[in-house]
Amino acid sequence: MEKIQRILATTDFSSRANRAVQRAVRLAVEHGAELHLLHVLPILPLEAFKRLVVDTPLETEQLLYNRINSMLQRLAEALAKSGMVVKHHVAIGRAHVEINRYAEFHHADLIVIGDQGENFVQELFLGTTVSKTLRKGQRPLLIVKQEPMDQYRRVLVPVDFSQPSRLALHMALKVAPQTPIQVLHVAEMPFRDKMWWQADLSEETVERCRTRVIGDAHHAMEEIIADCAPGDTRVTSSIEHGYPPAVIRDKAQSLDADLIVIGKRGETELDEALFGSVTKHVLYETVCDVLVVSPEKQPVKPIP
């Protein structure tokens, strides 16, 4: 199993960002990974400072940059005392752009970011740093909601057997190499009642259809486990029937999961999320940390 080598933790020095940094520290220690700390100074506040201090705008900008850099350096030095390699950087620009740019340039295996507080779901899908980083980025993004008390103890991986689901399971195995992992598939019968009545199908016919769907799901589950985690006794699986967001939420609660790892479906996932995607519901309705894994980049075909 490929190891996590570089972790990028973003911080604005708030309490929720501090939770993310602490989780990143624990993961870095656990994996022997290099830790990168990043703070992004937004452009607009800098422009506002320039207008307020019209005589020395460049000096004001430099003072602000130096102050933030000094704070980040002190944090990096304090964390480095534990023996890990810690690097830090202050960028200027749009947060999601600079986060993804830094992650790509330094080949970060994981980005760790704090959630958005009490109005998380409203803020998330109306253009926050988290949503924009997810929409535009290609690196796995861990959204930290809980105070990190220990290593992850129980991990839930919802799958629909797509390529993003496989990547999510691979990432779960990588992030939590010693932790029990439950792989969950929710088999759904769209418009079951409507189909039954409009097509005048018997209850026996509908039940046969349901049995076939469940059977196909069991076969697909065996395949994904065999491909991604052959012989790994930590990995167990379950197949349930119902409305996916509700089943995933209830399963996370019953397992007392402290991490959910889920695949992002294509580049339009965040747009689809506005209309009720599973990812949105998982981010909103669960209290544990959520790790979203993006699809792999497809190679660009040369123009003939």
pLDDT digits (tens, 9 = 90+) for 160-177: 998 999 999 999 999 999
Name the band, by pLDDT with cuts 50, 70 and 90, for residue 115. Answer: confident
pLDDT for the residue numbered 60: 67
Tokens matching residue 83: 């023996």
pLDDT at 103 over 90: yes
pLDDT for the residue numbered 304: 36
β 235-241/289-293 pair status: unpaired
Measured at the CA of 243, the angle between CA 241 and CA 248, to 5 degrees, comes to 85
238 or 203, which is more confident? 238
pLDDT at 107 over 90: yes
Q: Which of 13-27, 124-138, 155-169, 271-285 has the lowest mean pLDDT?
A: 271-285
Q: Tens digit of pLDDT for each residue in 280-304? A: 788 888 999 999 998 866 443 443 3
User: Which of 131-135, 147-151, 275-279 has the highest average model confidence (pLDDT)?
Assistant: 147-151
Measured at the CA of 75, the angle between CA 174 and CA 117, to 5 degrees, comes to 65
What are the residues whose beta carbons fall under 8 Å from the beta carbon of 214, sequence distance 6 or more? 187, 239, 241
pLDDT at 127 over 80: no
**150-304 has the same fold as 1-148:** yes
> DSSP of 228-265, one letter per residue?
HSTT-TTEEEEEEES-HHHHHHHHHHHHT-SEEEEE--
The percent of residues in the chain predicted with pLDDT above 70, rounded, is 79
β 289-293/141-144 pair status: antiparallel
21 or 192, which is more confident? 21
47 or 283, which is more confident? 283
What are the residues whose beta carbons fall under 8 Å from the beta carbon of 202, sequence distance 6 or more? none
Q: Looking at domain 1-148, does it have CATH number 3.40.30.10?
A: no
Domain 150-304 maps to which CATH number in 3.40.50.970, 3.90.920.20, 3.40.50.620, 3.90.550.10? 3.40.50.620
Domain ranges of the chain: 1-148, 150-304
pLDDT for the residue numbered 267: 47
pLDDT for the residue numbered 118: 47
Contact 139, 11 (CB under 8 A): no
Q: Where are the beta strands (DSSP E) in the chain?
A: 6-10, 34-41, 86-92, 110-114, 141-144, 155-158, 181-187, 235-241, 259-263, 289-293
| Distance in angstroms (rounded) separating the CA atoms of residues 211 and 67 | 63
171 or 137, which is more confident? 171
**What average pLDDT does the structure give for the chain?**
83
Contact 92, 41 (CB under 8 A): yes
| Distance in angstroms (rounded) separating the CA atoms of residues 261 and 263 | 7
